[in-house]
Structures are given as C-alpha cells and as structure tokens.
Amino acid sequence: MVQYNNDYTKEEDVTLWQLHEIRHQLAEQHQSSQQINTIGQHVIKRYNLKNLKIIQGKQTDESIHSHSVRA
C-alpha cells in the first residue's frame, strides 16, 4: 500500500493543504468526475447555495484524481 503524503503543510499554506486533503479523500472514494459533479449539484440545490455557480466543462477523471497540481 502506498502511503499518502500531502505536498503542503498547514504552516506553509493552510488552504492548499486543505484542498490537497479533500482531493485525496475524493480519490480514495474511486468516484468518476460525473459522480462527484452530480453530488455537488445536489448539495448546491439542497442547501440553496446561490453564490456558487455550476460550470459545465470537459474534465477528465485523471485531472480530478491527480495530486500533482502545485503553483
């Protein structure tokens, strides 16, 4: 089993650390990007989150599950 290692520390950048943790959790669930998007749309509608926009675009499952994005 491969050990997960976050590329960021909380001290370095708490927002990027949290984002990396969320992406890791999503990847562990083995959901397709379509499944993730559908769940997100339901949450937006359920909680009436009008300040969030649903953007339609082409995104691959690989880009969702990649942990190599770093500015």
The pLDDT tens digits for 47-66 are 998 887 777 766 555 554 55
Number of domains in the chain: 1
61 domain residue, yes or no: no
3-state secondary structure labels for all residues of the chain: CCCCCCCCCCCCCHHHHHHHHHHHHHHHCCCCHHHHHHHHHHHHHHCCCCCCCCCCCCCCHHHHHCCCCCC
Residue 17 lies in a domain: yes
- Residue 65 domain-assigned (yes or no): no
**pLDDT single digits (tens) 4-49:** 788 888 888 889 889 888 888 888 999 888 898 899 889 999 999 8
Q: Is 4 a member of any domain?
A: no
pTM of the entire structure?
A: 0.49
